[in-house]
Structure 1
Amino acid sequence: RQQTLAMHLLKLVLNCLNFDFIGNSADESADDLCTVQIPTSWKAIFLEPETLDLFFDLYHSLPPLLSQLALSCLAQFASTRRSLFSNPERAKYLGNLIKGVKQILENPQGLSDPGNYHEFCRFLARLKTNYQLGELVMVKDYPEVIQLIANFTITSLQHWEFAPNSVHYLLALWQRMVASVPFVKTAEPHLLDTYAPEITKAYITSRLGSVPIVLRDGLEDPLDDTATVFQQLEQLCTVSRCEYEKTCALLVQLFDQNAQNYQKLLQSSVRNPLEITVQEECFFPLFFFFLSLRVFQLISLMDAQLPQSSNEKVELAILWFLDQFRKTYVGDQLQRTSKVYARMSEVLGITDENHVLETFMTKIVTNLKYRGRCEPVISRTLQFLNDLSVGYPFYCVRHTILEKDRMKINMHYLSSFKHFPFLGITDNYSLSDLRCRTTFYTALTRLLMVDLGEDEDEFENFMLPLTVSFESVTRVFNSSFEQEEAKRMLIGLARDLRGIAFALNTKTSYTMLFDWIYPAYLSVLQRAIEVWYREPACTTPILKLMAEFMQNRSQRLNFDVSSPNGILLFREASKMICTYGNQILSLGTLSKDQVYPLKLKGISICYSALKSALCGNYVSFGVFKLYGDNHFDNVLQAFVKMLLSVSHSDLLQYRKLSQAYYPLLECLTQDHMSFITSLEPHVLIYILTSISEGLTALDTIVSSSCCASLDHIVIYLFKHIAKEGKKTLRCRAVSQDGQRLLHFMQQNPEVLQQMMSILMNTIIFEDCRNQWSVSRPLLGLILLNEKYFSELRATLITSQPDNKREVLDQCFRNLMEGVEQNLLAENRDR
């Protein structure tokens, strides 16, 4: 019973200490820079030494379930705002905290409990967060305590399998302490030059020591969690800079030792695969530290063993190293006479960044050629190639590497599955493995673009492998075809073309691609949508390709005035969207786990493509109606049919769908209100309801698009009413669309009234992140519903406490002060 009482009391204290006294905590889960804003009236209690002593005593005397609550309270005590104390008071308070830490570390039995251990690590990290190193070194017990903390940290790192999530706090403590060394002005020794190298050594050796244990016992590998590893390395790199000579010597020693052992195993007459794997994975943690010369040497040694030997973890670590080296030493903003090149020239013959880029490309080609079955390595290799193809280095890649060996620079060579198996279509590769081809062709096309200019012959040569593939698919379609082979070929081709289209950002190059694919090859893609509409693995890459074609990035789709290509492209997109929409609706009711992959994902891509076309400014949509072409009307009707097959909850639940639908609706309400007003009442109700529900969405893209769509509708309606009041013959001829919308709103007044209520409540009572967007439709709603606005205003004021009613009433008066009965820009901005 006493323990139950103690538990509730400790929880009460913790809740009090966790309370956001000044309302500035945007993220309550954040633990890095937490300061407890204790009220000044509590100061006397905090200054009493007995207060901290009580919680340290509770930790020592209570069982683990309760003692960790005491440590949580102490972590909050350590985070008390500095301004609560004067300098002498703060020093005394810190001394009491350090004394308690010393007692815990001298009697560490309670830390064997994972909960206590974790909370104690948080407690230590909070000490440095809130106190300066100069203040810590002045504490009487600092030399003993920093030694105890160092030993505790080393022990924790050596037992890597115990509470791994707590290591972050210990490394954060040491990182912040080492980072503060240059700012310490006291004469007292900080002793970090003694202990920081030991922390670095413990981390590195413990991770190396974990490799054989993990492999032999089948344990969970802590190095597999790359996000955690990178976070810890960012912390450790600061710690390791303290007495870096010691750290560097250690790394060189460990690397050379492992390299020698690895070479002996490779040269042994009897190879033990497990021993080789252990030795290879011992390099994995070492690659995360810059030993450039040795890594480049080891790359050559390991690649010489291909294709017999390949270790995924080591390859990923090598690629990470190469990428870091690129960021540090390759670029037009970096020193060309870097000392690293002088040393590399002596040992490896690498004299400058051009030679480094050649090494990069050799590694990329090797990986693509021999590691095609390892998707993580291929994806990371292609991402590295893609990064090289962006910005300054890709000129060097093109001119200094691709020109060096005509066999390998030939784009036909680079895009041939004979040389790079991952480009093939065999059953050895899953359909998901084909995704990486988009990245490959994006990078390859960027390299092509360097010197392409208007050279159509070079472009045709580059496209030759795809031309051959498309011709094969065409023949297969025209015969009794092997369905699976044709499908895999088309999936690969769609991904390849999407990568190419993404990289072609000039009008000239994009026109070459359009002339290449239209009309023959686009008809093949249309046929594929008809045949395999039930298989998203096929339809998704084709639809994404069409969506990419519709993107007018860098005005690449602004064809010549004599060219019909913009209209032709839209017609093809319209056919594909209509075909897919009609076919997908024939699937009927789908289960919850099938509805997104089989239906909603494709609909979202269609909406994205349609939005790009409507907002691209490369098609005059009035032409279609003028010349009796129904492609524009057809695609809008397909939009409506697909929309009505989706529930409102799904529209908001699936992020990609909502981020495609709502911007598309914004575009339609902005430029195509005649289409909106022509819709049946039940369709209008659906659309307006979707806008109403989207106004409160957490996604600002959705809520902002909803506000913009509502604003366009309100402005259209208001202008129509204003024109109706003028009663001129000229206005009557163009007011039929507006009359339909006005009649609908008169029949359903609650639609706009509800949205006005939502916007007012959002502005007044919620933390609105896009207040400007939310405010845009408000004036139009008020002018269209003045009576309801007065009622809503009275309701909102009445709902407030007595002491706030006058304030809110004054806010409303200020809101409408000087506002006129129009929606001109200057009136809306008041």
Structure 2
Amino acid sequence: MDELEVLNRLCKELGESTDPAIRARAEQNLAELVDSPQCLRRCMLLLERGDLPYGPVVASNTLMKLLNSKTGILVDQKLELSRYILNLLGTRSSSLPPFIVSSLCQLFARITKQEWTYTDSSDRHVFHTPVSEMITTIDLNGGNQSMLALQLLSTLLTDFNSQAGMESVNKHRKGIALFRDSYIFEIFETSISLLSAISQKDVTTLQMPFVLAVLDLCLNTLLFDFIGSLSDETSEDNYTVQVPTIWRTAFTDGKLVDLIFGLYIKLPSVASEKVLHIGVQLASVRRTLFNGSERQTYLEHVVAGVKRVIENPEKLTEQACFFARRQKKPAFHEFCRMVSRLKTNFQLCELIKVPDYAAVMRLLAQFTVESLRSGPKIVQIAMTRQSVIHNAKKYLKFVPQNELRNLELLLSSFNVRGAQFMMDLSANSTYFLLTFWQRMVTSVPYVRSSEDNLLNLCCPEIMTAFVESRLQNVERVVRDGHDDPLDDQGATLQVMEHLAIICRCDYEKTAQLLASAFDENARVMEAGSEGDIRVVIAEGRLVWLVTLIGTAVFGKTAVSNNEEHDKLDGDLVARRAYIMDQSYAQITKSSPVYDKLNSELGVSDETDMLSIIVQKILTNLKYWATNEHILELSLSLLKDLSLGYTAVRKLFRLQEVQLLLSNHTAEHFVFLGQSVPYSTMKHRTIFYEALTRLLTIDLNDDEQLFEQFMQPLGATTRQLTAIMTTPNYSGTVSQEELKRVVVGLCRDLRGVAVACSTKNLFQILFDWLYPEVFNIMMRAVEEWSTSPEVMTPIFRLLAELCQNRQQRLKFEMSDRILVMPDVSRERAYAERYKNIGIIFNVLKCALIGAYVPFGVFRLYGDPCLQDSLNMFVKLFIKIPEEDFHSYTKIAQHYYNLLENVVQDNIAFVSNLQPEVFAAILRSVHTGVTSLDAVVITSACSALDSILNYLYKRFTRAPHPVAKVGMEPEGDSCLVAVKSQPQLMSDILTSMMTSLMFGEVKCQWSISRPLLGLILLQEEVFTNFKREVISQQPEDRHAVFEQAFLGLMDGVEMSLTVKNKDIFTQNLAKFRREIVEAVKGKDVSPSASNNEMC
């Protein structure tokens, strides 16, 4: 049997065999292909002559694994493979199954992305050539070659948005920038010209697969990650499309928006979802792309498009029906997202100025009401086929008559699960509508326009629709067993946060609605008998109403002072307290709310109300501790109460609180025991934080009272000390139980430490902790260093102890030095990223806390600081560069720590190995181009310190002489910079490009290190300036040259603070002139280049 036959047999066994053993053996044999020296040849053999469909699929997947592996393949081999794949697709794509074509397109895209920045010996980008040819191949006839080119380009755009297969973030961002600057606008213009031509053709002559492929291409260009943020669209908040400034001419006149919404009207419903997704992106284009008048014009076109969709809603509901079976997001969902983006990207004052504002607001309000009511109705429709057809026009009134037969065929296979999907889809989609209304209401106080915003008319209707639809759905939950939306606590909380704002518009109507519904269902519950289904339904509705009442009361702002609204709140709270004996309202004793509470419940003041709340909290903690949701919410409420300046003093005097402070053991609260899961134990921190705050209100440095409070924790500490100091104790005590005791103790003590925010309190706590608790932690680290469930609580406690919050760590000198060794000796045991991030934070707190005199360490031969810094470098290297920025907290802690290390310990940094220093510079490059403001600020500060030091070293002739008690400076950093000059040149290029053509965060922070980069690399800066000017139109050359001259006007060859201040002012003016020039405006010369901007 020859090689091809063996490979085909294995592929077939993997794909068809029902015997798990045979499939496992085939999978193992084929997996060895990746490590084989013959991998590339055998995969190409399978692609060319392998049996369909399994041979090409296995070959494509294997090659993808090979490309993503660290070994990979040579560039010449990649070029050959890329050409082979294109030839294979060009000759056989019509005969191959679609999923194989997609797999091969993905393979081509990955190869092209990986080598996009590669140039051959002739300085040609050889991997760019196929892309250029594809763009010219596409024509309106929609032939096979055009379809293939569209699919390849769309796949390439999508793959560029992912870092998959890239060896580093920096290389990926370079590729993104080069692809963006060279081809994406051309691709975008091609897709728009095709869509424009399609809009002129008769819809009956259109080839829909070709139309959908063009829409995909246009959409993927707008979804492109223009600034290399490596983000996705999972976060809807503040999402903007960061199109380059040179694209502005394609957007400012609004014709593109009109074209897209015209296609929505013209094209069949199968294209609606893609068209509206493009509309979502157009509504999200960054505001700074336009000037004031252009932005208003653009907004008017977007609003006009939204109006056209609402006036022609057939395709929204039509798709919702048919997509429910396919489990996809219909056009309805995309339209809701588009509405949400209107208020995300534009301001209320701008929306009010739109001529169609009043009409669109009324249409949107009606649309929202119908959408909120449609979810429960869809479930009811699905119960019987006959009722659907009979009531189709009533419930799905937007469905055309000619589609009812299709709807009937669909419903023959449409089950309750499909209906539930549609219900979930409706809830997910209407969330975006509620987001729009919430943001509109939130903006009202900041608008001074005399025109009516119409929110007082729209919001009560929306609130009524929401309440009534949810109450109606309770019956279906009880009778038919559908999922209860309230079970999804996260989604419910998000919706309630929006409703809390919306309901305060014309609050009287909302309060009356909630009160009447509450009374009606309360009467049913009281009058009915146990087990009566009507009582169960009434109870379910009361749960919704209690939640909505809490939401409504919570929506009262601190600045509002409306006695009528206070009375309404009191009326609602009285009803809620009648059922649940608790309230989440924060109100004052003098408020009229107590008039109602006193008459109904005998609650005369805030103390009585707090007593009811505390009793309910303690009941929950005692009897519902196994329910993590109830436990978390109860403890969160207790913590919030302990933070209130007035409430906490009244709480302390309550008998229930005094009993709590004296009885906080596992005997009284189950969640303090060892039988609960580790995930539940984390709540102990909040519990002890709240208790300690209550205790310390009147503590007045009473150590005896503190000792009394800490007795249960002291007993645990003594027990652990006795066990862990006994030789060979592991055989006599359960290791799992012992770990849980240590974890619980660390969680508890961290809560206590958080609340001890003053110097005297922290001194008392530290005296209590040292040395027994530190010894326990040390022994635990030695014993369980590979157990993250133990390490994380220990490191979090250490991090909290190192926080110099409110200067609480300014106590006796000997105690300060004791903290540092116990912190740093933990480092060697961290093996998890999460714990590495915590360790970075611990060391950062120790370095900046101003409570450790670091000079004494080296002077007296203590290696503690040196060991800590060395461990920091080892942990930094431990995290792969490609994973580093996948963890936001780790990145923030790292850059904060690096900022302080290079400021105070630059000599240590200068002695690092050249490859380590180079890795640090690469990480700084990634940091200054981040989207996280915290990371940018710290990375720029760190870079500024490094450049200050390098500039001194390069301009200082003699080698620096070591000072007494200080580490001698090394030359490794100079070696790294000289041997790899691209390290700093890449940073300079990235920062200048971002400042000139992109969105800039923290411009002041970026300006500080930029001067050092320019002075250290004058030739690089000159070449960059020349290249940028040459790429501009001829009429802009003079403006750009003048702007670059002004950038360095008055700047000396030094890095003094004064010189940097001059450069920072010049940079602000420089950026403004460049932005205006790119927009095509005339830039008038200023009298002084040093003016404040």
TM-score w.r.t. structure 2 length? 0.59
CA RMSD of aligned residues (A): 5.1
The answer for the alignment partner of 1:647 in structure 2 is 880
* Alignment pair present for 1:259 and 2:522: yes
Measure how far apart 1:127 and its partner are: 11
* Alignment pair present for 1:712 and 2:712: no
The answer for the alignment partner of 2:692 in structure 1 is 445
Measure how far apart 1:718 and its partner are: 2.6
Equivalent residues in 2 for 1:65-144, closer than 5 Å: 65-66=270-271, 115=330, 117=332
Unaligned runs of 5+ in 2: 1-202, 242-247, 285-289, 324-329, 379-422, 553-568, 1063-1093
The answer for the alignment partner of 2:824 in structure 1 is 574
Query: 1:790 & 1:766 partners in 2: Cα distance?
Result: 21
The answer for the alignment partner of 2:809 in structure 1 is 557
Structure 2 counterpart SS, 1:777: helix
Deviations 1:683-729 (A, max 9, x none): 3333333323433233333333222222212212333445436x999
- Structure 1 pair 450–758 and aligned structure 2 pair: CA distance change class (3 A): same
Measure how far apart 1:65 and its partner are: 1.9
Query: 2:926 & 2:280 partners in 1: Cα distance?
Result: 42
The answer for the alignment partner of 1:502 in structure 2 is 754
Structure 2 counterpart SS, 1:337: coil
- Structure 1 pair 621–201 and aligned structure 2 pair: CA distance change class (3 A): closer
| Conservation of the 8 A alpha-carbon contact between 2:642 and 2:694 | yes
* Alignment pair present for 1:4 and 2:206: yes
Measure how far apart 1:56 and its partner are: 9.5
Query: 1:278 & 1:615 partners in 2: Cα distance?
Result: 59
Query: 1:500 & 1:538 partners in 2: Cα distance?
Result: 19
Query: 2:865 & 2:884 partners in 1: Cα distance?
Result: 24
The answer for the alignment partner of 1:589 in structure 2 is none
Measure how far apart 1:657 and its partner are: 1.9
Equivalent residues in 2 for 1:294-693, closer than 5 Å: 299=577, 322-323=583-584, 325-326=585-586, 329-330=587-588, 336-393=589-646, 396-398=647-649, 400-405=650-655, 408-410=657-659, 412-425=661-674, 427=675, 429-477=676-724, 478=726, 479=729, 480-560=732-812, 563-577=813-827, 581=828, 583-584=829-830, 599-693=832-926
Query: 2:622 & 2:693 partners in 1: Cα distance?
Result: 21
Structure 2 counterpart SS, 1:452: coil
Query: 2:239 & 2:925 partners in 1: Cα distance?
Result: 38
| Conservation of the 8 A alpha-carbon contact between 1:507 and 1:558 | yes
Match of 2:1015 among 783, 801, 808: 783
Structure 1 counterpart SS, 2:206: helix
Structure 2 counterpart SS, 1:159: helix
Deviations 1:239-291 (A, max 9, x none): 766776555444333222333443456x74xx57x887654432222021256
Bigger Cα displacement from structure 2, 254-263 vs 429-438 = 254-263
Measure how far apart 1:171 and its partner are: 5.8
The answer for the alignment partner of 2:541 in structure 1 is 282
Query: 1:651 & 1:279 partners in 2: Cα distance?
Result: 52
Match of 2:472 among 209, 232, 245: 209
The answer for the alignment partner of 1:595 in structure 2 is none
- Structure 1 pair 497–78 and aligned structure 2 pair: CA distance change class (3 A): closer
Give the AA of the match of 2:801: F
| Conservation of the 8 A alpha-carbon contact between 1:175 and 1:239 | yes
- Structure 1 pair 63–618 and aligned structure 2 pair: CA distance change class (3 A): same
Deviations 1:426-472 (A, max 9, x none): x2x10110011111111111112211121111111111110011112
| Conservation of the 8 A alpha-carbon contact between 1:175 and 1:238 | yes
- Structure 1 pair 215–537 and aligned structure 2 pair: CA distance change class (3 A): farther
Match of 1:809 among 1041, 1044, 1047: 1041
- Structure 1 pair 736–98 and aligned structure 2 pair: CA distance change class (3 A): closer
Give the AA of the match of 1:383: S
Measure how far apart 1:602 and its partner are: 1.4
Query: 1:108 & 1:707 partners in 2: Cα distance?
Result: 51
Structure 1 counterpart SS, 2:682: helix
Measure how far apart 1:609 and its partner are: 0.3
Measure how far apart 1:636 and its partner are: 2.1
Query: 2:357 & 2:876 partners in 1: Cα distance?
Result: 67
Percent identity, please.
34
Structure 1 counterpart SS, 2:698: helix
Query: 1:177 & 1:803 partners in 2: Cα distance?
Result: 43
Give the AA of the match of 2:613: F
Match of 1:695 among 921, 924, 928: 928
Match of 1:818 among 1033, 1045, 1050: 1050
Bigger Cα displacement from structure 2, 693-702 vs 338-347 = 693-702
Measure how far apart 1:737 and its partner are: 1.1
Query: 2:308 & 2:908 partners in 1: Cα distance?
Result: 75
Structure 1 counterpart SS, 2:810: coil
Structure 2 counterpart SS, 1:665: helix
| Conservation of the 8 A alpha-carbon contact between 1:105 and 1:149 | no
Structure 1 counterpart SS, 2:929: coil
Measure how far apart 1:410 and its partner are: 4.3
Measure how far apart 1:655 and its partner are: 2.0
Query: 1:554 & 1:730 partners in 2: Cα distance?
Result: 36
| Conservation of the 8 A alpha-carbon contact between 1:358 and 1:397 | no
| Conservation of the 8 A alpha-carbon contact between 1:662 and 1:705 | yes
| Conservation of the 8 A alpha-carbon contact between 1:724 and 1:732 | no
Structure 2 counterpart SS, 1:460: helix
The answer for the alignment partner of 1:827 in structure 2 is 1059
Measure how far apart 1:417 and its partner are: 2.0
| Conservation of the 8 A alpha-carbon contact between 1:490 and 1:538 | yes
Query: 1:774 & 1:722 partners in 2: Cα distance?
Result: 23
| Conservation of the 8 A alpha-carbon contact between 2:272 and 2:315 | no
Measure how far apart 1:167 and its partner are: 3.2
Number of residue equivalences = 756
- Structure 1 pair 366–715 and aligned structure 2 pair: CA distance change class (3 A): same
- Structure 1 pair 403–811 and aligned structure 2 pair: CA distance change class (3 A): same
- Structure 1 pair 56–792 and aligned structure 2 pair: CA distance change class (3 A): closer
| Conservation of the 8 A alpha-carbon contact between 1:68 and 1:119 | yes
Deviations 1:160-183 (A, max 9, x none): 727334435766898899999x99
Deviations 1:628-667 (A, max 9, x none): 2222222222223323332222322322222222221111
- Structure 1 pair 184–175 and aligned structure 2 pair: CA distance change class (3 A): farther
Deviations 1:765-810 (A, max 9, x none): 4322122222222222333333444344444444545444443333
Structure 2 counterpart SS, 1:505: coil
Bigger Cα displacement from structure 2, 539-548 vs 101-110 = 101-110
* Alignment pair present for 1:159 and 2:377: yes
